[in-house]
Chains A and B, each alone.
Chain A
Amino acid sequence: MWRYRSAFLAGFLCIVATTALTLAGPWVLKYAIDDLTRGVTAAKLRFYAGAILGLTAVGGIFRFLQRRIMIGASRDIEFDLRNDFFARLQLFEPAYFHRNRTGDLMSRATNDLNAVRMMIGPAVMYLSNTVLTFIAVIVLMLSLNVRLTLLSLIPLPILSVAVYFFGAAIHRRFDKIQEQLSTISAVTQEALAGVRVVRAYRQERFETGRFREANTEYVRRNRTLIRVQGAFFPIMGLLMGIGALLVLWLGAQDVINGRMTVGELVAFNSYLMMLAWPMIAFGWVTNLLQRGAASWKRMLEVLAAEPAITDAGANTDVTSRDQIRGDVEFRELTFSYGGTVVLRNISAKLPAGTTTAIVGATGSGKSTLLNLLPRLNDPPPGTVFVDGIDVRDLPLAAVRGAIGFVPQEPFLFSATIADNIAFGVADGAREDIERAAHIARLDKDLSDFPKGYDTVVGERGITLSGGQKQRTAIARAVMTDPKILVLDDALSAVDTYTEEEILSRLSGVMRSRTTIIVSHRISTVRTADQILVLDDGAIVERGTHDELVARHGLYAELYRKQLLEEELAAS
Chain B
Amino acid sequence: MSIHEEDVLGKAYDARLMRRLITYLRPYKPEVVLATAAIIGHSALELAPPFLVKLVIDRYIPARDAGGLSLIAVVYLAVLLGSFALDYVQTWLLQLTGQRIMFDMRMQIYEHLQRLDLKFYDRNPVGRLMTRVTTDVDVLNDLFTSGVVSVFGDVFTLVGIMVMMIWIDWRLAIVAFSVLPLIWLVTQWFRRNVRESYRTVRIWIARINAYLQERITGMATVQLFRREARDFAEFDRIDRTYRDANVQSIFYYAVFYPAIELISAIAAALIIWFGGGWVMMGALTLGSLVASLQYSSRFFRPISDMSEKFNVLQGAMASSERIFQLLDTEVEIVSGSGMRDAGSERHGSRIPDPRSRLGRIAFENVTFAYVPGEPVLRNVSFTVDPGQRVALVGATGSGKTTIVSLLLRFYDVQQGRITIGGVDVRDMDVHERRSMFGLVLQDVHLFSGTIGGNVRLGNESIDEAAVRRAVDAVHAGPFIDRLPQGLDTPVAERGATLSVGQKQLLSFARALAFDPPVLVLDEATSSVDTETELLIRDALKVVMRGRTTIAIAHRLSTIQDMDRILVLHKGELREAGTHQELLAQRGIYHRLYQLQFKDRELVNSR
Contact = CB atoms under 8 A, between A and B. Distances in A.
Nearest to A423: B225
Contacts of B49: 241, 244, 248
B64 A256 contact: yes
B286 A409 contact: no
A33 B103 contact: no
Contacts of A496: 554-555, 592, 595-596
Contacts of B457: 201, 203, 206
Interface string A103-115: 1011001100000
Given A32-B272, A230-B92, A489 B258 contact: no
Interface string B468-493: 00000000000100101000000011
A160 to B, nearest CB: 19
Interface in B228-263: 228, 230-232, 235-236, 239-240, 242-243, 246-247, 250-251, 253-255, 257-259, 261-262
Contacts of B555: 496, 521, 565
Given A45-B276, A458-B3, A520-B533, A252 B258 contact: no
Contacts of B479: 362-363
A216 interface: yes
B189 interface: no
A362 B528 contact: yes
Contacts of A55: 265
Interface string A337-356: 11110000000000000000
Interface in B334-351: 344, 347-348, 351
Interface string B497-514: 101111011000010001
A68 B217 contact: no
A204 B501 contact: no
Nearest to A200: B439
Nearest to B374: A450
Interface string B55-79: 0110011001010011011001101
Contacts of B266: 53
A563 B91 CA distance: 76
Contacts of A241: 49, 76, 79-80, 83-84
Interface string B261-280: 11011101110110011011
B223 A476 contact: no
Nearest to A460: B217
Contact of B219 (A90, A209, A401, A408): A90
Interface stretch (A72-80, A325-333, A507-515): A72-80
Interface string A464-479: 0111100100001000
Contact of B212 (A33, A86, A361, A563): A86
B434 interface: yes
Contacts of A101: 448, 493
Nearest to A255: B61
Given A238-B84, A248-B53, A495-B554, A362 B560 contact: no
B36 interface: no
B57 to A, nearest CB: 6
B208 interface: yes
B255 A558 contact: no
B243 A60 contact: no
B458 A203 contact: yes
B592 to A, nearest CB: 7
A245 B531 CA distance: 87
A106 B226 contact: no
A59 interface: yes
Given A53-B265, A563-B600, A234 B84 contact: yes
Contact of B91 (A219, A234, A456): A234
Interface stretch (B191-199, B322-330, B393-401, B419-427): B393-401
A562 B531 CA distance: 9
Interface stretch (A1-9, A183-191, A293-301, A383-391): A183-191
A219 B103 contact: yes
Nearest to A76: B243
B499 A362 contact: yes
B218 A413 contact: yes
Interface string B510-535: 10001000000001001111111110
Contacts of A567: 600
Interface stretch (A129-137, A146-154, A168-176, A221-229): A221-229
Interface string B386-420: 00000000011100010000001010000000000
B122 A192 contact: no
B458 A205 contact: yes
Nearest to A406: B224
A202 interface: yes
Contacts of B70: 249
A60 B2 contact: no
B493 A102 contact: yes
Given A102-B217, A266-B290, A60 B250 contact: no
Q: Which of A235, A339, A521: most chain B CB closer than 10 A?
A: A521
A569 B600 CA distance: 12
A569 B557 contact: yes
Nearest to A557: B531
A456 B2 contact: yes
A75 B91 contact: no
A191 B110 CA distance: 10
Interface residues of A, number: 185
A105 B592 contact: no
A522 interface: yes
Nearest to B526: A492
A204 B4 CA distance: 26
Nearest to B276: A45
B216 A79 contact: no
Interface stretch (A92-100, A311-319, A429-437): A92-100
A308 interface: no
B114 A207 contact: yes
B9 interface: no
B442 interface: yes
A97 B232 contact: no
A40 interface: yes
A561 B510 contact: no
Interface in A523-549: 523, 526, 546, 549
Contacts of A424: 224-227
Interface stretch (B14-22, B23-31, B123-131): B123-131
Nearest to B401: A465
Given A56-B261, A72-B250, A252-B60, A226 B110 contact: no
Contacts of A269: 53, 294
B233 to A, nearest CB: 10
Contacts of B64: 256
Contacts of B95: 222, 226, 229-230
A33 B286 contact: yes
A179 interface: no
B550 interface: no
A438 interface: no
A249 B235 CA distance: 61
A89 B115 contact: no
Nearest to A104: B493
B292 to A, nearest CB: 12
Given A234-B84, A563-B600, A67 B253 contact: yes
B213 A106 contact: yes
Given A237-B83, A465-B396, A75 B247 contact: yes
A60 B264 CA distance: 12
A493 interface: yes
Given A56-B262, A219-B99, A189 B560 contact: no
Given A106-B212, A190-B447, A456-B3, A463 B396 contact: no
12 contacts: A32-B272, A67-B253, A68-B251, A90-B228, A90-B231, A184-B106, A211-B110, A231-B88, A362-B532, A450-B373, A459-B126, A465-B396
Nearest first, the 10 closest Cβ-Cβ pairs linking A and B are A206-B458, A362-B501, A60-B258, A205-B347, A467-B396, A424-B225, A56-B265, A565-B557, A194-B445, A49-B269
Given A103-B130, A569-B579, 8 more contacts: A98-B497, A219-B99, A252-B60, A361-B529, A362-B532, A376-B224, A493-B527, A497-B395
